[in-house]
């Protein structure tokens, strides 16, 4: 069974694996329910989705009608203006069939113009804080992709008391000294302030090869070898205070859940093991701070 840990200062003991709702974006209600049941059976009690994840919120609705009180429920908005963020939140509540979400997150807040709009008077941050005061949400977080996001999160935390952050974390990305330093600073800040730390892209292999025309269930290619996935999961969950958000490719979810159930704080693979996996499976960073920064 997957262990739980305090989700920052929210008071919730969250499973150290958080279910990534993007996996449901192209599923039927029946398959979505089966996937959620699989995750919950493994010990997952925290679901993370977004208004932009296709119809993921819609197919979660029937399952939540029976299980809402069993899970911590999070969603996200890409809107930066206050009016649009409020409309999007209300639409998410309607699609999910709930009166309140536990966590609303500003999705991928990294670009300068969007950051300024979100924090300006009448921006999304102000609107979501008002929604929290009204009881539509309980907590507010901020997420992002790319090598710049840990430093942008630090900047965001200087402006507003967010309850959680989310950023990519895996061995290949941590080979960037600048990124690793920003991650270390962000984690220290979050631990000091009781801010929950979520990570993504733990089992990412690489961007899809040019010309690949097979099935794609995520915008990047995930690892599919069970042993490599276990080491990738341990690389993240071997660290204290950190949560792992599962990949949008539901095909590898069972392997991620199995690996997470065995993961222990302090049990991190060696650098030699991770480097060997990188070479054997062709693992490469999804982001480079320049041409590969946007998704």
Q: List pLDDT tens digits, range 247-271.
A: 988 999 999 999 999 999 999 999 9
Distance CA 16, CA 263 (A): 10
* Domain count of the fold of the chain: 1
- Using DSSP's 3-state secondary structure scheme, residue 76 falls into strand
Enclosing domain of residue 259: 4-184+203-281
Residue 11 lies in a domain: yes
Phi-psi map region of 269: left, alpha, beta (phi>0 left; psi -120 to 50 alpha):
beta
What is the predicted pLDDT for the residue at 291?
59
User: Does 290 have pLDDT greater than 70?
Assistant: no
Question: Can you tell me which residue has the tokens 């792992």?
Answer: 244
In Å, how far from its chain's centre is CA 269?
Answer: 22
Q: What is the enclosing helix (H) or strand (E) of 62? A: helix 56-67
What is the predicted pLDDT for the residue at 198?
98
What is the predicted pLDDT for the residue at 288?
79
Residue 287 lies in a domain: no
Q: List pLDDT tens digits, range 45-94.
A: 999 999 999 899 999 999 999 999 999 999 999 999 999 999 999 999 99
Contact indicator for 145, 108 with CB cutoff of 8 Å: yes
Q: Tell me, what CATH number does 178's domain have?
A: 3.20.20.100
CA nearest 286: which of 216, 202, 224, 183?
202
What is the predicted pLDDT for the residue at 193?
98
What is the predicted pLDDT for the residue at 208?
83
Contact indicator for 202, 233 with CB cutoff of 8 Å: yes
Section 122-137 average pLDDT: 98
Section 143-171 average pLDDT: 97
What is the predicted pLDDT for the residue at 216?
74
Residue 295 lies in a domain: no
Tally Cβ neighbours within 10 Å of residue 210: 5
pLDDT band at 117, cuts 50/70/90? very high
Section 175-200 average pLDDT: 97
pLDDT band at 217, cuts 50/70/90? confident
- Six-digit token pair at 1? 């069974």
User: Does 231 have pLDDT greater than 80?
Assistant: yes
Residue 166 lies in a domain: yes
User: Does 293 have pLDDT greater than 90?
Assistant: no
Residue 194 lies in a domain: no
pLDDT band at 101, cuts 50/70/90? very high
Residue 116 lies in a domain: yes
- Six-digit token pair at 245? 């958000």
Annotate 143-170 with DSSP letters as a single string: E--STTHHHHHHHHHHHS--SEEEEE--
Q: Chain-wide mean pLDDT for the chain?
A: 95
What percent of the chain stands above pLDDT 70? 98
- Among the residue ranges 21-25, 36-40, 114-118, 288-292, the one predicted with the least confidence is 288-292
Burial of 28 (0-12, 13-18, 19+ CB in 10 A): exposed
Contact indicator for 226, 252 with CB cutoff of 8 Å: no
Section 139-146 average pLDDT: 97
Residue 250 lies in a domain: yes
Distance CA 18, CA 109 (A): 20
Contact indicator for 208, 220 with CB cutoff of 8 Å: yes
Section 138-156 average pLDDT: 97
Residue 290 lies in a domain: no
What is the predicted pLDDT for the residue at 212?
77
Annotate 83-150 with DSSP letters as a single string: HHHHHHHHHHHHHHT-S-EEEEEETT--SHHHHHHHHSTTBHHHHHHHHHHHTSEEEEEEE--STTHH
């Amino acid at each position: 069974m997957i262990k739980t840990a305090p989700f920052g200062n929210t008071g919730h003991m969250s499973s150290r694996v958080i279910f990534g709702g993007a996996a449901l974006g192209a599923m039927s209600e029946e398959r979505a329910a089966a996937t959620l049941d699989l995750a919950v059976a493994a010990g997952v009690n925290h679901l993370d989705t977004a208004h932009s994840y296709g119809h993921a919120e819609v197919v979660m609705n029937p399952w939540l009608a029976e299980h809402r009180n069993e899970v911590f429920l999070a969603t996200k908005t890409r809107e930066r203006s206050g009016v649009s963020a409020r409309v999007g939140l209300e639409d998410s509540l309607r699609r999910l069939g709930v009166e309140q979400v536990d966590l609303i997150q500003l999705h991928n807040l990294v670009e300068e113009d969007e950051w300024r709009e979100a924090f300006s008077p009448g921006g999304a941050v102000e609107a979501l804080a008002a929604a929290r005061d009204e009881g539509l949400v309980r907590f507010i977080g901020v997420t992002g992709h790319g090598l710049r996001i840990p430093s942008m999160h630090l900047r965001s935390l200087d402006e507003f008391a967010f309850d959680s952050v989310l950023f990519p974390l895996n061995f290949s990305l941590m080979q960037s000294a600048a990124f690793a330093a920003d991650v270390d600073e962000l984690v220290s800040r979050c631990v000091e302030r009781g801010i929950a730390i979520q990570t993504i892209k733990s089992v990412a292999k690489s961007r899809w090869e040019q010309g690949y025309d097979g099935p794609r269930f995520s915008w990047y290619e995930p690892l599919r070898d069970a042993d490599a996935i276990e080491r990738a999961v341990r690389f993240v969950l071997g660290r204290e205070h950190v949560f792992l958000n599962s990949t949008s490719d539901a095909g590898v979810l069972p392997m991620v859940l199995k690996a997470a159930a065995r993961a222990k704080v302090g049990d991190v693979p060696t650098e030699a093991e991770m480097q060997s996996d990188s070479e054997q499976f062709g693992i490469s960073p999804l982001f480079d701070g320049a041409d590969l920064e946007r998704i």
